[in-house]
Amino acid sequence: MDYNSAQERVNQLKKFYKSLLWFGIVAGIIFFDDIFEEGKFNFSLFDGSIILAIWGIVLTVKAVKLFVFDADWENDIIEREMRKDKKNIHF
């Protein structure tokens, strides 16, 4: 991995961890606010639960893209495809 690729990956990780931190802070505020006001958790769009669910799904997709389908995975697939034995077409 060259320097520019490493720097880009570090920046992506930094953005992801910041998003995850903000998600945790906002989720904690919303959940504790719901519990202290009503004494139970209410799944409602207006209380922010649906917004948190969508935000969580977006963060999950980003995590999969960042940690599972990273540049190493892409390079491995490219190398595997290049190693495949291509048969010549005889006319």
48-91: pLDDT as tens digits: 678 888 999 999 999 998 888 877 777 788 788 777 766 666 66
Neighbours of 31 (CB within 10 A): 15
Domain count, the chain: 1
- Domain membership of residue 8 (yes or no) is yes
Residue 30: inside a domain, yes or no? yes
Q: Do the domain assignments include residue 91?
A: no
What pLDDT is attached to residue 42?
Answer: 57
In a domain, 57, yes or no: yes
pLDDT at 23 > cutoff 90: yes
- Domain that includes residue 11, residue range: 3-83
Does residue 78 sit within a domain? yes
Residue 89 lies in a domain: no
Q: Kindly state whether residue 90 falls inside one of the protein's structural domains.
A: no
pTM of the model: 0.67
Alpha helices in 1-90 (DSSP H): 3-38, 49-63, 71-83
